[in-house]
Structures are given as structure tokens and as C-alpha cells.
């Protein structure tokens, strides 16, 4: 299993840390969010080190669909209803600014950057689309309703965001990491105030950013209650009709489409990690149905952290951890949200403050219906009798027959059949023992 990005783009490799080092800022995690934080901090004149447990972009970043857009499903009517026009407008502006920052950075960069319109479509009716358009009109954004789409099935219509973008994430990261101080194969084992202990050395830093996808510290921030993870799947198809634009179903279990060169990236089959879902089998069936002449060239899966209210957690890790920051909960929109995080955290660390700090604050209210759902899922799996338990917080693991992995329904940790860690928040392999599926 390899994504189209891994097959067509390579990143530089860096040595592990040996010995002790000092820096202004330590970024833990070498995915898109962590590397953009380091890049923006360096541009601001701040010394920075990136510590990556494995290899750069080895997790979610290499398995994205790589859309850069402010159109995060039908979120703006929800934000208007729950937060009001000022905060909803800030969310839109933060993401539009992130898009423009990408556009500026990619001008002289070979990373397949393309301006594309973005569409959220519906196959079941216009009501939700019309409500979203009304919200966007209140916010002054020039979205529009369209009905004719180059998709292989009829739709009720779509909301169009003009002038969004797509790119090749690994080619982009290859360009921005050239002058960064990076240590690969350097997992942080223990974190204290202004100090991170690794296997072969210690990193001393005035500020620390945790950009590890799912935060690994349970003692602060209650992220084990505020986040859950979802898996989604993608196929790269050749011998399909070419089209422009990026497309996403309003339904959570719907399909997404975008082109990459002469290929079509078809996404879908999503489900909560540790639960049954359509996976690649569903996508392959759909590909045969709508594109019978197509050939599958690549297949991959992504895992996304979902926040309680649909807004990422970007800022101080918790109210009691000055100097410790986090970027997580990107809700399947990790490319744009990573740039938002880099801009917000750079401003906070440089003492400038950020107009978006309150909106994205990890310490904002947890009183949302999803909190109860997360708590019930965790309680159920903690009480499930099973010898297969996640080392993160002890939840019962479930066998994933499609991907041949042990998955945690509570927080999304995943392990190979032999027990090797694949996805966090767990930080170590399963204990050696023979498991039966």
C-alpha cells in the first residue's frame, strides 16, 4: 500500500539526535503541521528544532488528498449558529489567509500547485446547501450554487468556493525543509518544562510545540476526551475522464474526487477507527461501477483527529502549561489547518498575539454532544473483556480485517498484526504475546 504522493515524491533524510542541544523552540512531530511551524518560526528569526520519531511525513501527511481549501464541508452555517458572525468570519479569514500563504510560497516551487475551485455537493436535496450559502452570504464570501458537475452520478447541486487549490504535499515539504534543523528517528520519551528527553540525548527549549497528530500527553488538556479518530480511504485511478475542481459529498460517508496529473483520486469508505467501514472494497466497487475502464495504480488510507466542535485545537496545550503548545484536531482538513496552526503558533511564541487565539484555543468549552459520545465509547471499550489492550489508556483493541491491524476504538491507536505501533496516541508497541483474531 503506497499513496500516489509517496510513489512520486521523496523527502530528504536527517540523522537522529546524539547528545544534548539547545534551541528557542522544539517542534515534536515532522508532518505538515510540525514542519510548517518550524518553517514559519525560522522565517520569523526564531531558532527551532524538529524531532520526528520516525521519518518526515511518514504518517497522515503522506496519505492526504492534499486539498488546500477554506471549504470544510458545510461548516459555516454551523459556526454562525453556535459562535456568531464574528467568530465564523475569523474562521473563514484564517483559512483564506492560509490558502494565500501557500499560494505565495508555491509560486517558485515545483510542487504541482494548481488553483482549483472547490465544491461540496449533495445527492439528497438542496436544503443544506441553501442554508450554507445563506451563511456565506452573511459573511461576505462569494460562494455560489451550481448544479452541473462532472461527476459520474446525478447531484441535487453543490456549493462552489472559487480559487482554492491543490498540490503535491511531499514535493512541497521537500522544498521547505532544506534549511531546517531536523532529527529523524528521535522519539521524545519524556517531556518536562523546557526539556525533552529522547533515546540518545536531551533537547532544551524555551517553548515546545506538540504536533504529533494526536497529542501524546494525557496529564494535561484532556485530549483523550476531546478527540477521536476517523479512517478514510483513497484510490488513484488511471484511464478515467479528466476534469477540473475538487469535490466532496456533504454526507460524512460520501465520496471525494480530485485530479492529480492524469490520475483521479477517489476518496471515501470512512469510519471511526476501530469500527467497521466500507474501506477499499467499497471504493473498488464504486470505481468498477462508474469507471469500468479504469485501472487502480495506488491505494492508501488516512486517519484524522476529530474535535468536539469541528474546530482545530491550536494554542497553549492547556491553561496550566505555559510554553507548551499544540496543533491537533484538524477534522480532515489538515493541509489548510496546518498552515493556520503555523501562523497562529508563530505569532503566539513571538509575543505578537493572534486574532484567532480564542477561536482555536484548546482550553475552550468542552460542552458539546460529541463529548458524551466519546466518553461512552471509551467506557464501553475499557469494560470490554479482551487480552488485546491499547497501551495508551487500556481500551480493548479490535481486529481490522481489511488492513490487517489492531485498532483502538477509543482514541485511534493502531498496531500491526505482530504488535508494532502504526498510529498514535500510543507511544510504544504491544507487549509480545500471541493474539488470535
pLDDT at 97: 98
The reply to whether 19 falls in a domain is yes
d(CA 276, CA 125): 27
- The answer to whether position 35 is within a domain reads yes
Does 151 map to a domain? yes
Return the C-alpha cell found at 300: 492508501
Strands 48-51 and 21-28, bridge-based pairing: parallel
Answer yes or no: do 212 and 137 share one domain: no
- Please check whether residues 207 and 268 belong to one and the same domain: no
Question: Residue 56 carries which DSSP code?
Answer: T
Kindly state the cell numbers that stand for 288: 468498477
pLDDT of residue 385: 60
Q: Cα(74)–Cα(234) distance, rounded to whole angstroms?
A: 21
What pLDDT does residue 297 have?
97
Question: Is residue 13 situated within a structural domain?
Answer: yes
Per-residue burial over 119-138, b = 16 or more CB atoms within 10 Å of its CB, e = otherwise? bbbbeeeeebbebbbebbee
Residues 156 and 47 in one domain: no
52 and 200 share one domain: yes
Domain at 379, CATH number: 2.102.10.10
pLDDT at residue 119, rounded to an integer = 98
Is residue 380 assigned to a domain?
yes
Does residue 100 lie within any of the structural domains?
Answer: no
Same domain? 276 vs 160? yes
Walk along the chain (437 residues) in steps of 10 and give the mean pLDDT of each run.
93 96 98 98 97 94 96 97 97 98 96 98 96 98 96 97 98 95 96 94 98 91 89 94 94 93 92 79 93 96 93 96 97 97 98 95 88 73 68 78 79 79 80 55
Are residues 388 and 373 located together in one domain of the fold?
yes
At 422 the three-state DSSP class reads strand
Report which of 234, 222, 185, 338 is spatially closest to residue 2, judged by C-alpha positions: 234
d(CA 376, CA 373): 5
Cell 503506497 belongs to residue: 2
Considering 262, 285, 304, which residue would you say is the last residue of a domain?
304
Final residue in a domain of this structure, among 287, 304, 321 = 304
249 and 355 within one domain: no
Q: Residue 16's domain is classified under what CATH number?
A: 3.50.50.60
176 shares its domain with 324: yes
Please name which of 292, 305, 244, 298 lies closest in space to residue 266, comparing C-alpha atoms.
Answer: 298
In angstroms, the CA 121 to CA 129 distance is 8
SS (H, E, C) 119-176: EEEECCCCHHHHHHHHHHHHCCCCCEEECCCCCCCCCCEEEEEEEEEECCHHHHHHHH
Q: What is the pLDDT of residue 372?
A: 79
Write the CATH number for 235: 3.30.9.10
- 159 with 234, same domain: the answer is yes
Looking at the DSSP bridge assignments, the partners of residue 406 are 399, 415
Written as nine digits, the cell of 428 is 510504544
pLDDT at 435: 45
Q: For residue 73, is it within any domain?
A: no
The reply to whether 58 and 157 lie within a common domain is no
Whether 390 is in a domain gets the answer yes
Choose among 166, 175, 359: nearest CA to 246.
Answer: 166
Whether residues 231 and 324 share a domain: the answer is no
Give kind and range of the element (H or E) at residue 228.
strand 228-238
Q: Where are the alpha helices (DSSP H) in 322-423?
A: 334-349, 357-360, 369-383
Please answer whether residues 273 and 408 qualify as being in contact, where contact means their C-beta atoms are separated by less than 8 angstroms: yes
Note whether 137 and 236 are same-domain residues: yes
The three-point CA angle 12-18-23 to 5° equals 80
Report the pLDDT value the prediction gives residue 432, as an integer from 0 to 100. 64
At a CB cut-off of 8 Å and minimum separation 6, what does 56 contact? 11, 12, 13, 14, 30, 31, 35, 173, 177, 182, 184
How many folded domains does the chain comprise? 3
Q: Tell me which residue range forms the domain holding 237.
A: 113-164+227-304
Amino acid at each position: 500500500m503506497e499513496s500516489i504522493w509517496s510513489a512520486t515524491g521523496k523527502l530528504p533524510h536527517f540523522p537522529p539526535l546524539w547528545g544534548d542541544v539547545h534551541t528557542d523552540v522544539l517542534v515534536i512531530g515532522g508532518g505538515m503541521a510540525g514542519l510548517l511551524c518550524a518553517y514559519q518560526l525560522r522565517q520569523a528569526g526564531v531558532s527551532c528544532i524538529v524531532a520526528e520519531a520516525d521519518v518526515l511525513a511518514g504518517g497522515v501527511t503522506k496519505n492526504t488528498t492534499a486539498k488546500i481549501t477554506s471549504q470544510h464541508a458545510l461548516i459555516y452555517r454551523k459556526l454562525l449558529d453556535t459562535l456568531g458572525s464574528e467568530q465564523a468570519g475569523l474562521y473563514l479569514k484564517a483559512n483564506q489567509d492560509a490558502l494565500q500563504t501557500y499560494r505565495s510560497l508555491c509560486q517558485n516551487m515545483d510542487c504541482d500547485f494548481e488553483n482549483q475551485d472547490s465544491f461540496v455537493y449533495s445527492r439528497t436535496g438542496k436544503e443544506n446547501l441553501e442554508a450554507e450559502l445563506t451563511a456565506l452570504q452573511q459573511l461576505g464570501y462569494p460562494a455560489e450554487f451550481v448544479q452541473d458537475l462532472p461527476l459520474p452520478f446525478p447531484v441535487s447541486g453543490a456549493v462552489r468556493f472559487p480559487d482554492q487549490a491543490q498540490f503535491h504535499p511531499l514535493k512541497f515539504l521537500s522544498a521547505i525543509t532544506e534549511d531546517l534543523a531536523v532529527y529523524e528517528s528521535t522519539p521524545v520519551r519524556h517531556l518536562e518544562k523546557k526539556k525533552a528527553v529522547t533515546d540518545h540525548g536531551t533537547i532544551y527549549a524555551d517553548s515546545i510545540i506538540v504536533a504529533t497528530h494526536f497529542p501524546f500527553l494525557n496529564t494535561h488538556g484532556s485530549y483523550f476526551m476531546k478527540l477521536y479518530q476517523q479512517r478514510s480511504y483513497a484510490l488513484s485511478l488511471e484511464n478515467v475522464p479528466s476534469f477540473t475542481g475538487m469535490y466532496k459529498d456533504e454526507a460524512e460517508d460520501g465520496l471525494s474526487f480530485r485530479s492529480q496529473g492524469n490520475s483521479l483520486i477517489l476518496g471515501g469508505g470512512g469510519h471511526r477507527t476501530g469500527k467497521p467501514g466500507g474501506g477499499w472494497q467499497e471504493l473498488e466497487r464504486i470505481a468498477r461501477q462508474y469507471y469500468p475502464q479504469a485501472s487502480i495504480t495506488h491505494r492508501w488510507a488516512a486517519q484524522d483527529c476529530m474535535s468536539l466542535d469541528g474546530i482545530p485545537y491550536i494554542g497553549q496545550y492547556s491553561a496550566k502549561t505555559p510554553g507548551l503548545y499544540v496543533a491537533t484536531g484538524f477534522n480532515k482538513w489538515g493541509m489548510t489547518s496546518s498552515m493556520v496552526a503555523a501562523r497562529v503558533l508563530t505569532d503566539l511564541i513571538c509575543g505578537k498575539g493572534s486574532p484567532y487565539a480564542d477561536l482555536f484555543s484548546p482550553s475552550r468549552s468542552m460542552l458539546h454532544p460529541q463529548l458524551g459520545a466519546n466518553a461512552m465509547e471509551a467506557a464501553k471499550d475499557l469494560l470490554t473483556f479482551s487480552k488485546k489492550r491499547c497501551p495508551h489508556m487500556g481500551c480493548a483493541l479490535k481486529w481490522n480485517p481489511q488492513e490487517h491491524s489492531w485498532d483502538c476504538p477509543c482514541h485511534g491507536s493502531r498496531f500491526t498484526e505482530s504488535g508494532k505501533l502504526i498510529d498514535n496516541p500510543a507511544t510504544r508497541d504491544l507487549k509480545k504475546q500471541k493474539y488470535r483474531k
